Amino acid sequence: MKLTEVKKIKRISFSKLKSVVELPNLLEIQLQSFREFLQPDVDPEKREDKGLQAVFKTIFPISDVRENHSLEFVKYMLGTPRYSIRECRDRNMTYSAPLKATLRLVVRETSGKSKNVKDIIEQDVFLGELPLITQKGTFIVNGAERVVVSQLHRSPGVFFDEEIHPNGKRLYSARIIPYRGSWVEFNIDVNDIIYAHIDSRRKIPVTTLLRALGYSTTQEILALFYEIEKVGLSGRKQAELAGRISAETVVDKQTGEVIISAGENLTDSHLDRLKELKTGNLKLIVFDAQRDTGVIINTLQKDPTSSEEEAHLRIYSLLRPGDPPSLEMAQGLLTRLFFTEKRYNLGEVGRYMINQRLSLDIPLNVTVLGKKDFLAIIKYLIGLRNGEGYVDDIDHLGNRRVRRGGELLANQFSIGLSRMARTIRERMSLKDSETITPHDLVNARTVSAVIETFFGSSQLSQFMDQTNPLSELTHKRRLSALGPGGLTRERAGFEVRDVHHTHYGRMCPIETPEGPNIGLIASLSTYGRINKHGFLETPYRKVKNGKVTQEIHYLSADQEDKYIIAQANEPLHKDGRFVNSMVKARHRGDFPTVPPQNIDYMDVSPKQLVSVAAALIPFLEHDDANRALMGSNMQRQAVPLLITEPPLIGTGMEKKAALDCGALIVAQKGGVVESVTADKIVIKPADHKEVMDLLELDEYELLKFNRSNQDTCMNQRPLVKVGQRVEKGECIADGPATYGGELALGANVLVAFMPWRGYNFEDAIIVSEKLMGGDRFSSIHIEEFELQVRETKRGAEEITREIPNVSEEALVHLDERGVVRIGAEVEAGDILVGKVTPKGETELSPEERLLRAIFGEKAGDVRDASLKAPPGMKGIVIDTKVFSRKEQGEEVKKSERSESLKLKRSFQKQLEGLKKLRDDKLSKFLNGQVAKTIRSAKDNSIVFRAGFKFKEDSLQNIEIDDLVAEDGFTQNKKVNKKVETFLFKYQEVISQKKAELEVELEKVVRGTELPPGVVQLVKVSVATQRKLSVGDKMAGRHGNKGVVAKIVPVEDMPYLPDGTPVDMILNPLGVPSRMNVGQILETHLGWAAKKKGYFVESPVFDGAKLEEVKQALKQADLPKSGKITLYDGKTGGPFDQPITVGYIYMMKLSHLVDDKIHARSIGPYSLVTQQPLGGKAQFGGQRFGEMEVWALEAYGAAYSLQEMLTVKSDDVMGRSRVYESIVKGENPPEPGIPESFNVLVKELQSLGLDVELIES
């Protein structure tokens, strides 16, 4: 297959179901969130109260203590980014736009009791740079592409929980979790008393809290929870009333003595006293001891307070122990904790959740708690104790919501602006009110510092996994339960990590990492989306009266619990009725079989269950879930190959995944291809109804051999030819790991499942040399090296070819500047950039002073600080970039001039193209039209007389910019309007191009912005071609992974009866115990497809059945069993049994042996222990540990052991003496004392022990 020959692929589908809903844009989760946060395309005055706008609205207005000044927010604006995405990548900068806010300062002065406005100042204030999202859903921070991962966290709202006490009693609790503010928890203890905890502090009886909320008397509290009846005391037997509970307090009016308090049980003595007082009626509680456990009555008896004031003081003393309480402060504390919007915020989500859970109808914009909420929660809790209601499942997706990038950013802005508000208040009180302006008050650094920290070091802002397009896509669709405000690995139990029935269609049950993060990091399912409250939703088709409609409803986990749902592959008649009289369905975690009338909804697609990566595994339904997990994870590690090849057996997701990940280039408009080069495609838009589109040529820049974050190669290749017509949305250039607009992560290879001379023991893989020859598994890796030239205290460093003590041989690859040439082959240790740095001033000896005097000052007092290729490196330099600060000098001016000239030439070329386009279009418009008088602007002479009939070539050799037509070119008004609009658009485009040129020229003149202290930045890119080699890790799509153990000559490989040698041998023992039978079905169907020359689409859970695979083999004249007799390449004899042979799609993973292999002779040593460092990154050695020492002791290898522990490790003197003796060819000297012994002695001395080493 030639590199250039890319054919569009048609696949034969085995799917039985028609697509009902198109797959959504897979990056929408990232892009939509950022759009909602910024609202960039909305007029500043019309912005909705969400995202950044909402944050500004909550923080502002800011007033000082005396309310003489208040700073109000008017609007915010975003500027344009200073550098393009490509420039930011090259220069290690952040792709961002300046954020400005219009703030209004109102100055008031006191006159009498009122305050009058004295002055109003409005100013635009710069608040820092805000990183912008790219079209691919990433952020570029300091030159590196990063992704903000969405976070799954506990939704704000109220949650009811139960635990079982050691005595077997169920204890219930309720917790109110706000978006921001103090937590409140209510618990019923073993004695049936409700306590409240505020912010996990000491407990208070809940009735104390109720009194503080305004229900001050016991009578009021009882009336809230119990029905009250009036009972006449006369004519009743005492036994009837004894033990009933009083709902009121009765006082002897004469003496003031309390006869019975509310909440007290009536006794005979109470009744006697009441009769004495001639009390006619008494209010009693209607209390059913069977149904009610008397929780509130028990609590009241425990309550030490009896009035609202006491309750306030009690709560204050618990929350602020040590502070002397005053009533005013105590009342203010509770208001501040729960009833002030600035301190407490449930968020719209929290309010929605509380309303849903407790059937309240409080408006969604009320985001603080109210009395109603507290009462409803306490009542529900008592209901739970009495056996009514249900507790919450915290792992239910109705109780977990997603915070996307926009919301995380809004939270950061909220933190930054709150800090800024604090400094503004301070400055308001300090500054002189006459001269104060918004500029003086605002310090932008506070906001930008928070944003920088978030993007640079938050757990949720991650360095993008860019190994291949799929890994990019899944990283952006990831959902993490970790991060600030989330879980930690250590604390998360099994329940949180487990698959829950609400994951169906929302989160993938398969794709999650192996290891400590299993279940905490998940992936969004293919059709899943996030609603405005942050809950995951999935689409279903509505079923009405047993008939499936085309209506699509998105349901959240909470809503889905109410319905019974049929699966997507349930057979239907043409009119949408179910074929079967009983239908298999889902309801919560159950799988009932129900009649069609009971079905409410039906799944839209079998693949709505899984994520994109899992949906790319054919025959997923035949694989064990653990292996499918490995398969979906390993596809993300596949290295883009030099020659891409689409899978013979696909699932139909390959196109969508490639299209949405941003690796391909897609035509934005339909049109005709004007020109194609390796790095640019130009398309002339087709004649469009809109005159506007006719002028613009669409230019698409291609990436050529760019480095990805993981050092893989990102290269785009054009798929179109000049003159070809393309439609909008068509793929016009392939990217890394794609072929013809489809994802292509590996290669189709002919495999045989058989043991072969023991070489494929334990999952090892045997590979034919043929794969090496065709570069089938070769890949390009690009490493980038960077060198900064800084200003030091001793003078500036310098890039140069003149490096002290370096031979001319070592400088052979460097150009006159001292930077390696493009195209040079470099190896480990070669100099890539020559740099010298000034040495420190040292005391000079008389001889040196003499030499200095003779040969002039500063001769040779620099040392070599060049950038050298690291160990194990071998490759070709493909690019070098030198960025310099603006400096004066002839050299700099010369390069500036040439750069400016280049830009102007390019602009001129574009201008000519546009002019030609304009002339052609104008000729078309005017052809056949009758002219009005048209004059020349230069000398007012007539160019076209009135009545002249235009032909197609009439405008040739005429300068159109010079023509003046006062009332239109032609006598047709419609045509005139068209021409006028067209020429206006042309002028607009020209001025836009001129503005772009100005910006570019200014960048050239200004020089590069570099970090402080850096004078120059040099980047060198080195490309290495890696062929498949022994030790490389390979895998199929079914979790069938292995390491290449041997590369065998083609002639030794087993071959088919027709003489075709197999490409790869896999161990058959890797299949039965792993239960990933999907690979065997892929092998069979792949063989048939290859033989007949077609490509297959077998979607997950809706793919080819076993019978269809057999049928395909039969049609291709292959054995129905999929097995055939193979012949041994070495002996020529047949193998004993028939062997399974076929085509599997194999991938090379980014665990390449070249990156892992490592050897050390002499290298760096640890400072304290003086022992060699460990690990490849440190150029370290292998640790000869405790157990290895035992082994040598067991063998009695005394001398080897002594060497290991001394001269080969930390005997500093001995090391250098051994080196000397080897060079001189003498016997090595006696080892000295290891440094670790000295460390031990010092440690003992530091404990105060007088340890002395007495050398004999």
Q: At what angle do helices 51-59 and 405-430 cross, to 10 degrees?
A: 30
Express each pLDDT in 1100-1129 by its tens digit: 999 999 999 999 999 999 999 999 999 999
Residue holding tokens 């109220």?
158
Across residues 890-897, what is the average pLDDT? 73
Q: Give me the sign of the Cα torsion angle 27, 30, 33, 35.
A: negative
Q: Is the pLDDT of residue 691 over 70?
A: no
Phi then psi for 459, rounded to 5 degrees?
Answer: -65, -25
Please report the pLDDT score of residue 848 as a whole number: 75
Q: Give the model's confidence band at 933: pLDDT under 50 very low, under 70 low, under 90 confident, else very high.
A: confident
Q: Is the pLDDT of residue 935 over 90?
A: no
Express each pLDDT in 977-1032 by its tens digit: 777 777 778 777 888 888 777 877 777 777 777 878 888 999 999 999 999 999 99
Residue holding tokens 């570069």?
775
Express each pLDDT in 173-204 by its tens digit: 999 999 888 899 999 999 889 999 988 778 88
Q: C-alpha 606: how far from its chain's center?
A: 26
> 910 vs 344, which has greater pLDDT?
344
Peptide bond into 61 cis (omega under 30): yes
Q: Is the pLDDT of residue 945 over 80?
A: no
Q: Give the model's confidence band at 2: pLDDT under 50 very low, under 70 low, under 90 confident, else very high.
A: very low
Across residues 283-289, what is the average pLDDT? 77
Q: In Å, what is the CA distance from 952 to each residue of 721, 927, 955, 956? A: 28, 5, 7, 9
Express each pLDDT in 84-126 by its tens digit: 999 899 888 999 999 999 999 988 887 777 778 888 899 999 9
Q: At what angle do helices 347-358 and 371-385 cross, to 10 degrees?
A: 40
Please report the pLDDT score of residue 3 as a whole number: 45
Phi then psi for 258, rounded to 5 degrees?
Answer: -80, 120
Residue holding tokens 């409005």?
122
Please report the pLDDT score of residue 984 as a whole number: 78
* Rounded Cα–Cα distance for residues 697 and 674 (Å): 9
> Tokens for 366?
């009320």
Please report the pLDDT score of residue 185 as a whole number: 94
CB-CB neighbours of 774 under 10 Å: 12
Beta strands per DSSP E along 343-422 = 400-403
CB-CB neighbours of 707 under 10 Å: 22
Across residues 43-47, what is the average pLDDT? 90
Size of the chain, expressed as the number of residues it contains: 1256
Please report the pLDDT score of residue 850 as a whole number: 80
Q: Is the pLDDT of residue 690 over 60?
A: no
Tell me the three state secondary structure of residue 382: helix
Give me the percent of the chain exceeding a pLDDT of 90.
Answer: 59
Q: Give the model's confidence band at 237: pLDDT under 50 very low, under 70 low, under 90 confident, else very high.
A: low
* Rounded Cα–Cα distance for residues 596 and 208 (Å): 55
Q: Is the pLDDT of residue 458 over 90?
A: yes
Which positions ≥6 away from 1201 have C-beta within 8 Å? 1189, 1192, 1193
Please report the pLDDT score of residue 549 as a whole number: 94
Express each pLDDT in 259-280 by its tens digit: 787 777 777 777 777 777 777 7
Q: In Å, what is the CA distance from 177 to each residue of 182, 187, 717, 897? A: 8, 15, 53, 64
Q: In Å, what is the CA distance from 431 to each residue of 148, 419, 423, 424, 501? A: 40, 18, 12, 10, 60
Of 716, 677, 723, 724, give the one whose Cα is nearest residue 699. 677
Q: Is the pLDDT of residue 133 over 90?
A: yes
Express each pLDDT in 739-762 by its tens digit: 999 999 999 999 999 999 999 999
Q: At what angle do helices 51-59 and 28-38 cross, to 10 degrees?
A: 40
* Rounded Cα–Cα distance for residues 1034 and 1131 (Å): 29
Q: Is the pLDDT of residue 703 over 70?
A: yes
Please report the pLDDT score of residue 838 as a whole number: 87
Contact 348, 359 (CB under 8 A): no
**Single-letter code of the amino acid located at 1031:** G
Give me the percent of the chain exceeding a pLDDT of 70.
Answer: 96
Contact 636, 470 (CB under 8 A): yes
Mean per-residue pLDDT of the chain: 89
Express each pLDDT in 507-562 by its tens digit: 999 999 999 999 999 999 999 999 999 999 999 999 999 999 999 999 999 999 99
Express each pLDDT in 248-261 by its tens digit: 888 877 777 877 87
> 54 vs 843, which has greater pLDDT?
54
Q: Is the pLDDT of residue 1195 over 80?
A: yes
* Rounded Cα–Cα distance for residues 172 and 381 (Å): 7
Contact 770, 749 (CB under 8 A): no
Q: Is the pLDDT of residue 1 over 50?
A: no
Q: Is the pLDDT of residue 930 over 80?
A: no
* Rounded Cα–Cα distance for residues 131 and 40 (Å): 13
Phi then psi for 1101, rounded to 5 degrees?
Answer: 60, 10
**Helix, strand, coil fractions of the chain, as percent rounded to 5:** 30, 25, 45
Residue holding tokens 């890949």?
779
